[in-house]
Amino acid sequence: MSSFYQPVTPEGAGETERPAPDKVLSGDPVFTTWNLEERDGLYCGIWRSTPGKWRISYDEWEYCRILSGHSVLTDADGNEITLRAGDSFMLRPGFSGTWEVIETTTKDYVIRL
């Protein structure tokens, strides 16, 4: 395979973690991340979360595409967006609100610090 081409697919067990306990609002979400690229402030890969709800705050720019599952993203003003497979969106630095995973959700992402 050529060195310029990298399939965006999870391989192996990935890295697991949970949100900080003080950010969790419900459930016991577990995150699994498969980082495929980390270079010069650019990160991309696959992320998956089990059900739960937690507070989020972004200092970075992120593009995401939902691959499977069902989540609800709510901004600090209470505006909700339902996310399902095929939905693509960007989160900009300064965004804060909550992420609620209703059904285990998998997304691919590109983050720029």
pLDDT digits (tens, 9 = 90+) for 54-96: 999 999 999 999 999 999 999 999 999 999 999 999 999 999 9
User: d(Cα 70, Cα 83) in Å, to the nearest integer?
Assistant: 6
Q: What is the CATH code of the structural domain delimited by 15-112?
A: 2.60.120.10
- Spatial CA neighbour of 55 closest among 100, 98, 96: 98
Domain ranges, ordered by start, for the chain: 15-112
Tell me if 32 sits within 8 A of 105, measured CB to CB.
no
pTM: 0.91
pLDDT at 10: 80
Average pLDDT value for residue range 22-28: 98
Q: Report whether pLDDT(104) > 70.
A: yes
User: d(Cα 56, Cα 89) in Å, to the nearest integer?
Assistant: 16
